[in-house]
Chains A and B, each alone.
Chain A
Amino acid sequence: MEHWIEFIAARYNYWIVIVLMMTGLYVVFARGNLVKKIVGLNLFQTSVFIFYITIGKIAGGTAPIYCAGELDHGGDAAGHGGPADSDHGQNDNLHDAPGVSDAPAQPIGESNPVEGLHSKIENISEDLAANDLKAGLNDLGPADGSEAVASLHDDAGKIVNDTLVNLQKPDAATFDLAGGAAPGTVDHAADVANALGDAGPCLGEVIYTNPLPHVLILTAIVVGVATTAVGLALAVRIREAYGSIEEDELVALDNVAEFGEAGAAAAGGAA
């Protein structure tokens, strides 16, 4: 029983989506008033917007807005905050990357830190396919020492960001992977982020939610608004032409126009 409650409660966002979606569809089908149909259609579309946004949400993540102000832990780039500066900082740190990456070795507990991190991330990714982790990971290729360092740098922002996110989730599998160091995990991961050299400007402090669903839904909202506008405009024109926006009255008026009064009565009786 408790298992079921947990199952339902853990997916509350989907329940909201499903309830809204079904309500919207029901309104579209059950209501004869054209404006109410449009309202139902909107409700239906909105449920899909919420669905998209919830799948992009990452626990503890903030809005995907580039936070240039909170840049840099390295001193040289501090205060400037421009993208060029952050690149500069990244390059500086690139040189001592192998040395610095001793830091994450401890929590992971493996001899080769980079490989350890890599395999760890891949394991996590299997649990959390939805978080778009694999996109970054597949680019990494096989866990070859120097190559992995380079590619980790390229994708460091993304991967470490995702790692952080996963580490923060109270997920048993994640804790196992982090070597059981549950309380310190987040701090260590932050160290990893710092050690890997500021590739992501806000690492350690800021976790972004996945911005792509937001962008998609912005597009879908524009489409939805346009559809609503066209639908309402049609409703206005229908009212001008028929003097009604009730579907059954429209059908009756069409029948009268086509078959005359008697024919319409017959057609109505048949229907």
Chain B
Amino acid sequence: MIIASQIAVLPIITPLILAPITLLLPKGRASWAWATLVSWLTFAACSFVLKEVAQTGVISYHLGDWAPPLGIEYRIDLANALVLFLVSGIAAVVFPFAYRSVQLEIDERQTPYFYGALLICLTGLLGVTVTGDAFNVFVFLEISSLSTYALIAMGARRDRRALTAAFNYLVMGTIGATFFVIGIGLLYQATGTLNMADLHDRLVGQDNRMVQAGFAFIVVGIGLKLAMFPLHLWLPNAYTYAPSAVTAFLAATATKVAVYVLIRFFYSIFGFDFAFMNAAFTYVLLPLGIAGMFVASLVAIFQEDVKRMLAYSSVAQIGYMLLGLSFASAAGLTATLVHMFNHALMKGALFMAVACVVFRCGSHSVQAFAGLSKRMPYTTWAFILSGLSLIGVPLTVGFISKWYLLQAAFDAGHWYAGFLIVASSLIALIYIGRIAELMLLREPASEGKYVIAAKDAPLSMLIPMWALVAANIYFGVRTELTAGLAEQAAATLMAFAGGGA
């Protein structure tokens, strides 16, 4: 069947080709409905890909039927099938959610552009995930980044600081992308190829300074994109001032995809033969991951803005993922993949809850959350449940991530890292607990600008949000899909990279 043989390219083609049609549709509901439909189609395609990969193994698709290594190859194994599923799944939830939120926050004349840009951003993120060509990663990364800059700037209608946030992100993101290209150029110079599998073959035994420099450029470039601890400065403002739905989408997907790229470069290109990588694990990722966990969590406690607090918390969570990577073991890689998936679920739900509050109250300041349980009980409980997940309470996905991470830490002999993981989770308890206390125990403001109508968010927002909260609990109890697939994916990656399990 012709569709079945082209399955690998469908997740990219669908949103890429259908996104411009959004611009031709009437403003408001029609363009939203179209974009939502496209996101669901994409999700269906990605689910199909995941099913195929889980059953039959790696899919290798030759774009335009040009055989690799000369042609561009889309190569989907379990690791990227999982990320595809995650990203498109989040999109399929965020698009229906966005309608009311966007109605409030975006000028109606801009809605076709908004949904079009969001679809292009989705395309870019999925493209980064499927491709097996190093330069292609850069192109898709920039497709998603450019649309992200525009999307963040659209928050300017509510707060003009969105513009400066977008500008700063543009400068940092472009420097990151350019560093990445320099790294790819050096690798190309050393090997004469851009295909990832081919790069891996040809880098074997090459441990010279050119490859090391390329490695360093790539790590720093991707580090900027994924907001690795000292390179995270663009993230808090960008997440704070972006439109609420965009924040929910980006927080759940963009940094995860960048983490995936890092994993792909570490394991599928450089591999453990490359001694420099082990040094990078021990002396860069491990300390930076731990520093990010603590510094960003501590900064989060003192934020007066819930969105900014959650943004700093995202930086801290990325610290966990880097920590998992730095153990250089199958268990650590599993923990990172699981946490990528789970963190997307919890952060998506948390930022959606904030979007609901913004919808009713018009603010994401801490004061707006006072007494929220009496006004918006469903939103409050969604926030609390996903907050518990963020802390890592049993029966939620957060617990699963932390469990795998702790196991990996002790397996790798980094027992102190285990204690640090628990300690930083306690800091998460403080900043989530602070908001929970406000919501549950305080009296709602009776006057001033934080008065909330005694009415919960509309159903079109509550249903997607609770779908994510339910996923937080479902995947916290049943771990076959996430942890099971992640373990297999990690085992495959480790075997390819030539490391001991």
**In the bound complex, what is the Cα–Cα distance between A132 and B69 (angstroms)?**
12
Smallest distance from the beta carbon of A216 to chain B beta carbons, Å? 6
- The 8 Å CB contact of B167, one of A44, A130, A231, is A231
**Residues of chain A from 101 to 147 with CB closer than 8 A to chain B in the complex:** 129-135
| Binary contact readout A138-168 vs B (1 if CB under 8 angstroms, 0 otherwise) | 0000000000000000000000000000000
- The 8 Å CB contact of B135, one of A51, A129, A216, is A216
Contact at B178–A44, with CB atoms within 8 Å? yes
The interface-forming segment of B98-106, B157-165, B309-317 is: B157-165
Given contacts A131-B192, A135-B69, A213-B188, is CB(A227)–CB(B175) below 8 Å?
A: no
A226 within 8 A of B: yes
B170 within 8 A of A: yes
Smallest distance from the beta carbon of B77 to chain A beta carbons, Å? 24
| Binary contact readout B142-178 vs A (1 if CB under 8 angstroms, 0 otherwise) | 1000100110010010001101101100110011011
- The 8 Å CB contact of B160, one of A44, A48, A130, A241, is A241
A52 within 8 A of B: yes
**Residues of chain B from 57 to 82 with CB closer than 8 A to chain A in the complex:** 69
**Residues of chain A from 26 to 49 with CB closer than 8 A to chain B in the complex:** 28, 34, 37, 41, 44-45, 48
The interface-forming segment of A60-68, A73-81, A85-93, A232-240 is: A232-240
Contact at A51–B185, with CB atoms within 8 Å? yes
Contact at B174–A55, with CB atoms within 8 Å? no
- The 8 Å CB contact of B202, one of A41, A51, A134, A216, is A134
Contact at B174–A235, with CB atoms within 8 Å? no
Chain B neighbourhood of A213, CB < 8 A: 185, 188
**In the bound complex, what is the Cα–Cα distance between A28 and B177 (angstroms)?**
15
Given contacts A219-B139, A234-B170, is CB(A48)–CB(B178) below 8 Å?
A: yes
Chain B neighbourhood of A212, CB < 8 A: 188, 194
Given contacts A48-B178, A234-B166, is CB(A55)–CB(B150) below 8 Å?
A: no
Given contacts A48-B182, A220-B181, A237-B163, is CB(A25)–CB(B149) below 8 Å?
A: no
Chain B neighbourhood of A132, CB < 8 A: 192-193
Contact at A230–B135, with CB atoms within 8 Å? no
Chain B neighbourhood of A15, CB < 8 A: none
B189 within 8 A of A: yes
Contact at A135–B193, with CB atoms within 8 Å? yes
Contact at B185–A234, with CB atoms within 8 Å? no
- The 8 Å CB contact of A52, one of B142, B153, B185, is B185
Residue of B nearest to A235 (CB): B167
Count contacts between A and B, CB distance < 8 Å.
91
Contact at A227–B174, with CB atoms within 8 Å? yes
Contact at B164–A133, with CB atoms within 8 Å? no
**In the bound complex, what is the Cα–Cα distance between A52 and B180 (angstroms)?**
13
Interface SS of chain B: helix
Contact at A230–B170, with CB atoms within 8 Å? yes
Smallest distance from the beta carbon of A193 to chain B beta carbons, Å? 21
Chain A neighbourhood of B193, CB < 8 A: 132, 135
Chain B neighbourhood of A227, CB < 8 A: 142, 146, 170, 174
Contact at A129–B192, with CB atoms within 8 Å? yes
Chain A neighbourhood of B167, CB < 8 A: 34, 231, 234-235, 238
Chain A neighbourhood of B192, CB < 8 A: 129-135
Q: Among B138, B163, B191, find the residue whose CB has the most chain A CB atoms closer than 10 A.
A: B163
B190 within 8 A of A: yes
Chain A neighbourhood of B170, CB < 8 A: 227, 230-231, 234
Q: How many residues of B contact A (CB 8 A)?
A: 33
Q: How many residues of A contact B (CB 8 A)?
A: 36
Contact at A234–B153, with CB atoms within 8 Å? yes
**In the bound complex, what is the Cα–Cα distance between A130 and B167 (angstroms)?**
37
**Residues of chain B from 87 to 114 with CB closer than 8 A to chain A in the complex:** none
- The 8 Å CB contact of B153, one of A129, A133, A237, is A237
Given contacts A130-B192, A231-B167, A234-B163, is CB(A45)–CB(B178) below 8 Å?
A: yes
Contact at A242–B175, with CB atoms within 8 Å? no
A256 within 8 A of B: no
**In the bound complex, what is the Cα–Cα distance between A147 and B53 (angstroms)?**
37
Contact at A238–B164, with CB atoms within 8 Å? yes
Contact at B163–A130, with CB atoms within 8 Å? no
**In the bound complex, what is the Cα–Cα distance between A41 and B168 (angstroms)?**
12
**In the bound complex, what is the Cα–Cα distance between A29 and B185 (angstroms)?**
24
Chain B neighbourhood of A45, CB < 8 A: 174, 178
Contact at B185–A223, with CB atoms within 8 Å? no
Chain B neighbourhood of A134, CB < 8 A: 191-192, 202
Given contacts A25-B175, A129-B190, A130-B189, is CB(A241)–CB(B69) below 8 Å?
A: no
**In the bound complex, what is the Cα–Cα distance between A234 and B193 (angstroms)?**
37
A250 within 8 A of B: yes
Chain B neighbourhood of A51, CB < 8 A: 182, 185
**In the bound complex, what is the Cα–Cα distance between A81 and B321 (angstroms)?**
58
| Binary contact readout A175-215 vs B (1 if CB under 8 angstroms, 0 otherwise) | 00000000000000000000000000000000000001100
A254 within 8 A of B: yes
Smallest distance from the beta carbon of B242 to chain A beta carbons, Å? 13
Contact at A241–B156, with CB atoms within 8 Å? yes
Chain A neighbourhood of B161, CB < 8 A: 254
**In the bound complex, what is the Cα–Cα distance between A165 and B153 (angstroms)?**
50
Residue of B nearest to A254 (CB): B161
Smallest distance from the beta carbon of B64 to chain A beta carbons, Å? 14
**Residues of chain B from 106 to 140 with CB closer than 8 A to chain A in the complex:** 135, 138-139
Smallest distance from the beta carbon of B473 to chain A beta carbons, Å? 38
Chain B neighbourhood of A41, CB < 8 A: 171, 174-175
Chain A neighbourhood of B190, CB < 8 A: 129-130
**In the bound complex, what is the Cα–Cα distance between A25 and B224 (angstroms)?**
15
- The 8 Å CB contact of B146, one of A135, A220, A230, A250, is A230
Chain B neighbourhood of A130, CB < 8 A: 189-190, 192
Smallest distance from the beta carbon of A219 to chain B beta carbons, Å? 6
**In the bound complex, what is the Cα–Cα distance between A223 and B150 (angstroms)?**
15
- A-B contacts, 24 of them at CB < 8 A, read A28-B171, A34-B167, A41-B175, A45-B174, A48-B178, A48-B182, A52-B181, A55-B188, A131-B192, A132-B192, A134-B202, A135-B69, A216-B194, A219-B135, A223-B138, A223-B142, A227-B170, A230-B150, A231-B174, A238-B163, A238-B164, A242-B160, A242-B163, A254-B161
Besides A48-B181, A55-B185, A135-B192, 6 new A-B residue pairs in contact (Cβ under 8 A), listed by A number: A41-B174, A216-B194, A237-B163, A238-B164, A241-B156, A254-B161
Give A residues with C-beta under 8 Å from B: 25, 28, 34, 37, 41, 44-45, 48, 51-52, 55, 129-135, 212-213, 216, 219-220, 223, 226-227, 230-231, 234-235, 237-238, 241-242, 250, 254
